[in-house]
Structure 1
């Protein structure tokens, strides 16, 4: 039995995606899967060292780990005309934002890359993603860049949306915003990589086919979010894009990283390599 560690975020969409593997709903064909739950910034940093066999990462982080990892065709989180948001307690213009320090969830996140493409002059400070909304509400920052479930709950907290970077990206490019993906370590060898990739695809398909039971499992990772909101959030980020990027999704990844390179945010020219299984 070969152990494969899958590292992913402790949120409802990733839990939904990996439900069948976590609860052994499918035949794993000689693999034992161990699930490691950590926030995305930590996963990005650990991917730099090649810690886990499979890991969720921000697409922004991929060029820094491309020597060790290949992008899996499955497991993407696509913002299809939605995505990370800049929020505040009051309406602000783009010019206003240039004068503010924005709380961001990490410099390696795709949210940060999108922010810098939208507002190159952005001043920022890194704050754990789950502390950004409280920090804005407590006037520690006048604006924050939110990811995960906060995209659906910010208004309940009395915050307002300044810009949805997924909407902005689509208007600019006509493409979805590729936020996160799964990578697999190249030293596993091509045969093992393809077998693991197929199992992850089966896990995602199982959850889509058994939505009610998979969602019930995922709700334990949704914090205090109501079940209807959690269902909506899962639907936003586990869908046909998650089963396979497709040609459009692959183009979106390459376009985003190329623009980041041209803007000087990404230092090395991106070489995007997808595992084809």
Structure 2
């Protein structure tokens, strides 16, 4: 790695969720040789999306859905993010039912610029007659309690919620990932890593090398990252944290590859066709 490629330190924000702390543990704790030290901020996805739109930090974990608004200032890195199969957001309700039950209902979502919400809008356009009612933005860990307690009629959940929603007495009305995969055949693009273009092409390549190395080191000995993961996992059961990591940290985290880029282009292209996001220029996703 080019030790002079990045001026230290770098400001970075990612969530306290197990997949992010697992991926970034080695870098955050200085175990990646020659890597610029990061100044880490933990923030929910709604906050990091807003940070990216305001250009506040050097490196951010954001929703793929926010890319059309930030790619002029930020470059998409080809590693470190979350894509996969069988890992899509779920729509949860207190009672079992059909998608038609959401017409005119109040739904909590983790961010209006989240990939989860974009997938939800594409699904709802096809499956929910009429329109969904009020959309309420809540931190993802507050959504299931809000549905359980009747503060909202339904909730769009991400992350480990797919493993524990039954503990809240809730039912899965629909799986956004199943709908996406059935209609496209592509993996589900969820969270992206972006970095400021002003760092320069050489620095961006060095940064991608750092993150790739951090991922590989986490895989080589998962026990090393465990204290960091559990420290920030909001009292999550260690077994659930392991399931979370196994689902969201995969081959697409190591490198987007052809299928990963096709998924991102497919999601944002389809959403642009529906008028949900601005269209992307053909070169917008290219890595320097």
What is the TM-score with the length of structure 2 in the denominator?
Answer: 0.92
Counterpart check, 1:243 vs 2:254: yes
Residue 232 (structure 1) aligned with residue 237 (structure 2): no
Aligned to 2:145: 134
Tell me the residue number matched to 1:173.
184
Secondary structure at 1:25 match in 2: coil
RMSD over aligned Cα, in angstroms? 1.3
2:232 paired residue number: 221
CA distance in 2, matches of 1:26, 1:46: 26
**Match in the other structure for 1:73:** 78
Q: Does 1:43 align with 2:48?
A: yes
Matches within 5 A, 1:1-277: 2-29=8-35, 31-120=36-125, 121-123=131-133, 124-266=135-277, 268-271=278-281, 272-275=284-287
Deviation at 1:150, TM superposition (A): 1.4
- CA shift digits 1:116-156 (9 cap, x unpaired): 00003333222222211111111111211011221211111
The CA distance in 2 between the partners of 1:81 and 1:167, in whole Å, is 7
Distance of 2:34 and 2:14 partners within structure 1: 18
8 A Cα contact 2:109 2:157, kept in partner: yes
Distance in 2 separating the partners of 1:125 and 1:157: 19
1:82, distance to aligned residue in structure 2 (A):
2.3
Q: What is the rounded CA distance, in whole Å, between the counterparts of 1:200 and 1:82 in structure 2?
A: 22
Q: Please report how far the alpha carbon of residue 26 of structure 1 lies from its aligned counterpart in structure 2 after TM superposition.
A: 1.8
How far apart, CA to CA, are the structure 1 residues paired with 2:183 and 2:103?
A: 20
- Give the deviation of 1:210 after TM superposition: 1.0
Cα separation, 1, equivalents of 2:43 and 2:119: 22
Distance of 2:211 and 2:85 partners within structure 1: 22
- Residues of 2 paired with 1:255 and 1:122: CA distance? 24
Q: 150-159 or 208-217: which moved more? A: 208-217
Contact 1:87–1:162 (CA under 8 A) maintained in structure 2: yes
**Which of 220-229 and 193-202 deviates more?**
220-229
Stretches of structure 2 that go unaligned for 5 or more consecutive residues are: 1-6, 126-130
The worse-fitting range, judged by mean Cα deviation, of 113-122 and 177-186 is 113-122
Runs (4+) of structure 1 exceeding 3 A deviation are none
Moved more, 214-223 or 131-140: 214-223
